[in-house]
Structures are given as C-alpha cells and as structure tokens.
Amino acid sequence: MKGKLYILSGPSGAGKGTVCKQLIKERPDIVLSISMTTRPPRADEKNGVNYFFTDKQSFLKIKEEGGFLECAGHFDNYYGTPRAFVVDNLEKGRDVLLEIEPVGALQVKAQMPESVLIFLTAPSKDDLIARLRSRGSETEETIAKRMAKAETELSQMDKYDYVVLNDTVENAVKKIEKIMGGK
Ligand code: 5GP
C-alpha cells in the first residue's frame, strides 16, 4: 500500500467525532472513510455524508460477502468500514483516516499491522460522563452502558501506537498532526 492508514479510536465521549472533523479541515489531503451503519440517521445527518445508512439485512449481506474491512456491533447497532474505498485510496497513495470504535480498530490493526492506531481519551472518567451527558441524546441507562464499555476500552490502551489526551480539541488535533507528520 502506498498510502498510510490512520485509525482514530477510543471510548465514546472522548470526542473522536469533533477531533476528526477539525483534523480533516486542517489536513484536507487526508481521505476520511465514510462508514456504514444500521443506526437511524440523526436530524442533522445525511446519507453518504455522515454515514451510509442501511438496514440490518443489507449490512449482514455485505459483511458475509467480505465487503467490510472491519465491523462491530456497538450497543444496538452495527457499524462497518467499506473495504474497497479504503483499499483503493491507499493503493493510489492517499492517506486514509478511520474514526471507529475500539473493537473494529483492533481488527484493522490485526489485518494491517502497518496502520497507525491512535487512542483518543478524555482527561478523566468524569469528563467522559460529562461529554456523554452534554450530547443530550443519551439516557442515564445508556450513559452507564457506555461507561462500562469504556472501562474495557481503557484497559486496552497499550495495544495502540499512540495515546492522545483530548484536553482541548485544538491540542488533540495538533498532537495527531504531529503523529501524521507534515504535509
Ligand atoms: P455514532 O452512532 O455516535 O455516530 O457512533 C458510535 C460509535 O461507532 C463511535 O464510537 C464511532 O467511532 C463508531 N463507529 C463509526 N463508524 C464505525 C465503523 O465503521 N466501524 C466501527 N467499528 N465503529 C464505527
């Protein structure tokens, strides 16, 4: 592969989405992979922009056909990275960024050891909880489930190539840009 594959992962509430958006603004040369999900779109989300939204049956068919580089169940929904898009861009020499949860991230690392695995984490558990609450879309029950999952994810931090503390978005983006090297 001529391009480099970067994987930004970490627990929910660490701020992966926000950091990723800002990173892409700073580094428009990096191609962001659009995932497929069975989760229904949120009010401000568009098909083909934020995700490719699909149903469970179609998702599982693509999975069976080997169409995903990785996929994982995340609470009640499935998420997957379309394989062809990533491989095509890497072959063309473009650097690609995935923003995915840790189960999928470790699947990619196992297949492509040369990929760069970055763990984004909030300064503390209280920060993670505060960020989950501030979304407004999460119930206390969901927050508790996400925190339990976060505990497992935090214990796997040592499997990552880099750990980036998301104290401020600006700092986190700067640190990731440094990992990526200049362009
Ligand atoms: P959300 O539903 O809030 O957009 O995303 C939930 C979680 O799924 C986030 O942690 C996000 O990083 C992760 N995610 C998004 N796309 C993918 C994907 O293609 N594969 C995996 N494994 N996780 C994903």
Note the pLDDT tens digit of each residue in 10-30: 998 899 999 999 999 999 999
Question: pLDDT by residue (tens digit) across 71-124?
Answer: 999 988 999 999 999 999 999 999 999 999 999 999 999 999 999 999 999 999
Note the pLDDT of residue 137: 74
pLDDT band, very low/low/confident/very high, at 150 (cuts 50, 70, 90): very high
Cβ contacts of residue 9 below 8 Å, gap of 6+? 16, 99, 100, 101, 102, 104, 105, 117, 118, 119, 120, 160
- Cα of 54 vs centre of ligand 1, distance in Å, is 14
Quick check: 51 and 36 in contact, CB under 8 A?
yes
CA angle (27, 172, 38) in 5-degree steps:
75
- Cα of 183 vs centre of ligand 1, distance in Å, is 27
- Cα of 133 vs centre of ligand 1, distance in Å, is 18
Quick check: 62 and 33 in contact, CB under 8 A?
no
Quick check: 99 and 32 in contact, CB under 8 A?
yes
d(CA 93, CA 107): 22
- Distances in Å between the Cα of 179 and the Cα atoms of 46, 77, 113, 143 are 30, 31, 16, 31
Instruction: Tell me what percent of the residues of the chain surpass a pLDDT of 70.
Output: 99
d(CA 137, CA 14): 16
Note the pLDDT of residue 134: 87
Mutate to test the pocket of ligand 1, among 21, 68, 101, 118 (most ligand atoms within 8 A of CB): 101
d(CA 49, CA 94): 19
Note the pLDDT of residue 119: 98
Question: pLDDT by residue (tens digit) across 118-135?
Answer: 999 999 989 998 988 887
Tell me if residue 111 falls in helix, strand or coil: helix
**Residue ID of nearest Cα to ligand 1 atom 17:** 100
* Residue 61: count of CB within 10 angstroms of its CB: 12
pTM of the model as a whole: 0.95
**Residue ID of nearest Cα to ligand 1 atom 15:** 100
pLDDT at position 138 over 90: no
pLDDT band, very low/low/confident/very high, at 182 (cuts 50, 70, 90): low
Q: Which amino acid is at 52?
A: F
d(CA 57, CA 59): 5
Any residues with Cβ below 6 Å from ligand 1, and which?
Answer: 12, 16, 35, 39, 70, 72, 74, 79-81, 99-101, 103-104
Alpha-carbon dihedral 64, 53, 56, 142, rounded to 10 degrees = 120
Instruction: Tell me what percent of the residues of the chain surpass a pLDDT of 90.
Output: 86
Note the pLDDT of residue 75: 87
Mutate to test the pocket of ligand 1, among 21, 32, 37, 128 (most ligand atoms within 8 A of CB): 37
Note the pLDDT of residue 183: 60
pLDDT band, very low/low/confident/very high, at 155 (cuts 50, 70, 90): very high
The alpha carbon of residue 183 and the mean position of all alpha carbons in its chain are separated, in whole angstroms, by: 22
